[in-house]
Every structure is written in C-alpha cells, then in structure tokens.
Amino acid sequence: KLTIGIVGLPNVGKSTLFNALTRSDILAANYPFATIEPNTGVVGVPDPRLPKLAEVYSSQRILPATVTFVDIAGLVRGASEGLGKGNQFLAHIREANAICQVVRVFADGNVTHVDGRVSPADDIETINTELILADIQTIDKALPRLEKEARVKGNDKDLQSRLAAIKAAREILNEGRTVFNAGLDLEPLRELHLLTAKPFLYVFNVDESQLGDETLLASLRELVAPADAVFLDAKIESELIELDEEEALELLQSTGQAEPGLDQLARIGFHTLGLQTYLTAGPKETRAWTIRQGATAPEAAGEIHTDFQRGFIKAEVVSFDDLIDAGSMVEARSRGKVRMEGKEYVMRDGDVVEFRFNV
C-alpha cells in the first residue's frame, strides 16, 4: 500500500488537517473490515466518472480509489541530528512513498510560529535542509562501503554506475537541492531510500481571505514548482466535514472554492504517488481500482485477485467516454468500441474493464 507522509513544522495546522482527513470516513463506510492505524488517514479520491458509470449499470454502491496519508510528527530544526524525536521521525518518513509538506501561510497572532514569523519560503527551506542533511548522512555512510567493494571487484560496471549516481546525488545535496527533481536517474539510488528522492507535494495552509488572492497563490506555486501545490484553509476543512452536503456546499461557495481542499489533496496526492485507476462496473458495484501508471492488463487483474492475474486470458476494454456515449455495454460492443486486449496491454486511465481468466 503506497502512503503519503505528512510533515511540517509545529503549529502549521498538521493536526487540524489530519483530523479532517481521518474523519472523512471513507473506510468506515465502504471497507468495514479494514483496520486503520491511529496515525493513518484514508480518503476517497473523488471521481465524477463513478456516479455516471453506476447509473449505466444501476450499481448498488460506488467504491472510489483511496489515498493513505500518514501523520509523521516530530520534524523540528535539528531533526537530522536526532533533536526532538529526530531518529524516529526519519525512520517513519523513510517508509512513506511520497512526502506532503504542510506549510503555514495563515496569519494568526494567537498561534505562535516556532521561528517567530510566518514565512513559507523559510519554513520550506528549514524542512528541506533537515531532509537534505539526513540524505547526506545516508550517503556518507554508504559511500566508503561501496567504494571498497568497487576496489575489490575491479571493473564491475553495475557497481561503477551506482557509485557514479550516488556521487552525483551527493553533489546535488551539497548544493542544497533535493534529489527528486534534479534530473538524475533514480533507479541506481533506490537502495539508499533517500528522503529527498521521494516525490514531494505541498499543502499551503492559508486564511480564508487568502484563498482568492491569485497573486499570493501564484507566488507560492512558483516557490515549489515543479512539485504540486494544494491551497486550503485547514480550519474550514475541519468545519466542512462536520456539515451535511447542502450546508457544506454553502460554506464552500462563500469561500469561493469549487470543491473541498481535501478532495483536491486526495486527487493530487494520488497523482504524486504515480497511480492511476481503471474501472469495473456491474449491478452490485461500480469501483475504481488502483494501479501504478504503466501497469499491464494482467497486473491490473491481479489487483482484483491474484487468480485473475495468474489465469489471465484477456481483458475486454472500453474507454469510459465511449461507454457513456454508447449508453450501454451492448451498444458500445455493436459500435465496435469494445476491444479485446492481451497480456502486453498497458492500461489507460479510465478504462472500463472485464477480465477473462482461467481458474
């Protein structure tokens, strides 16, 4: 299960956001037998295609894809040197597949800032510095061992190229940059589990009044590009989940937002993790299944059941748009829009699929 670790300095609104995330209750409603750790929040990925598909099939229920967030407390200046809960913090963050930084933008005289002033750029630098220092330590521990191995083995090509990649990463980190977007081949670095080689995404916790300030939002977006940015007011998000649908819509409209920030966060987080969905539908349920981008048809089948992957024969595939245009599977078939795909087929987002397999 891929997870996104939520980090940020103290008092930026992490708990407020995380509580809103965990209370959105997607699991309790749809996956009653799943166990959730207390520091884990599972949210549904909103997908307007699902209700449309459910209508075509008169499905009894809808199961969206989900994203799992893990609250990783304890990031303070000096965490890489073991300050605060430094070591524990680093161990937890290493397990996450992507990192979501919560950054305070809201001004509130009653909420102290650890550094005495609200400055998103400085906060991001503080956090990144800790992650960069931790990665430098990791590399400096690994390098002597690898260099020795390289000397012993002589002309081992694979080892040489791994060494070169690690040294290149060390250079990047030395310049105070993170590894993920530095243009390096990440594959040879994988064994090191570097923190800054994970994809990042940023949540800017803004005031309600700042939500409409396009100049401010654009400058923050630029600050973290090419990483994705989500803008939300954590306080409003925690209020939204308390309301029924109609009241929530009213509150949203009053803030000028088209959808809750949590919905945006789920969608963007899903993308940051490199995931996509395909869809299945029937009278019982319409469901979005999670696969990595680039997954083949048998791998997608394996997401439903390992037997489906093992006994895979072919996949009957129609794109969501073609199916909705046709209005039914029968009509889509007669229009020649339904394809038979084999083992090599690479799944596309929004494929509606039925698998054929041997048991």
Q: Indicate whether 126 belongs to the interface with ligand GDP (CB under 6 A).
A: no
Select the span of 5-13, 123-131, 169-177, 275-283 touching ligand GDP (CB under 6 A).
Answer: 5-13
Work out whether the CA dihedral 340, 344, 347, 353 comes out positive or negative: positive
Sequence ranges of the binding site: 11-16
Q: Indicate whether 15 belongs to the interface with ligand GDP (CB under 6 A).
A: yes
Q: Which residue is nearest to ligand GDP (CB)?
A: 13
Q: Indicate whether 77 belongs to the interface with ligand GDP (CB under 6 A).
A: no
Residues 101-120 that bind ligand GDP (CB under 6 A): 106, 108, 111
Q: Indicate whether 12 belongs to the interface with ligand GDP (CB under 6 A).
A: yes
Is 45 within 8 Å of 65 (Cβ atoms)? Answer: yes
Q: Indicate whether 202 belongs to the interface with ligand GDP (CB under 6 A).
A: no
Instruction: Kindly give, in sequence order, each residue whose CB lies less than 8 Å from that of residue 328, ignoring residues fewer than 6 positions away.
Output: 56
Rank residues 14 and 92 by Cβ distance to ligand GDP and give the closer one: 14
Q: Which residues of 21-53 are buried (b: 16+ CB within 10 A; e: fewer)?
A: bbebebbeebeeeeeeeeebbbbbbebebbeeb
Residues 235-254 that bind ligand GDP (CB under 6 A): 235
Q: How far apart are CB 233 and ligand GDP at their closest, in Å?
A: 5
CA distances from 178 to 38, 131, 164, 182 (A): 30, 8, 17, 7
What count of residues does the chain have?
359
Q: How far apart are CB 111 and ligand GDP at their closest, in Å?
A: 4
Rank residues 232 and 275 by Cβ distance to ligand GDP and give the closer one: 232
The only residue of 3, 4, 7, 13 in contact with ligand GDP, by rule CB under 6 A = 13
Sequence ranges of the binding site for ATP: 11-16
Is 53 within 8 Å of 323 (Cβ atoms)? Answer: yes
The residues that touch ligand GDP, with contacts defined as CB under 6 A, are 8, 10-16, 106, 108, 111, 205, 207, 233-235
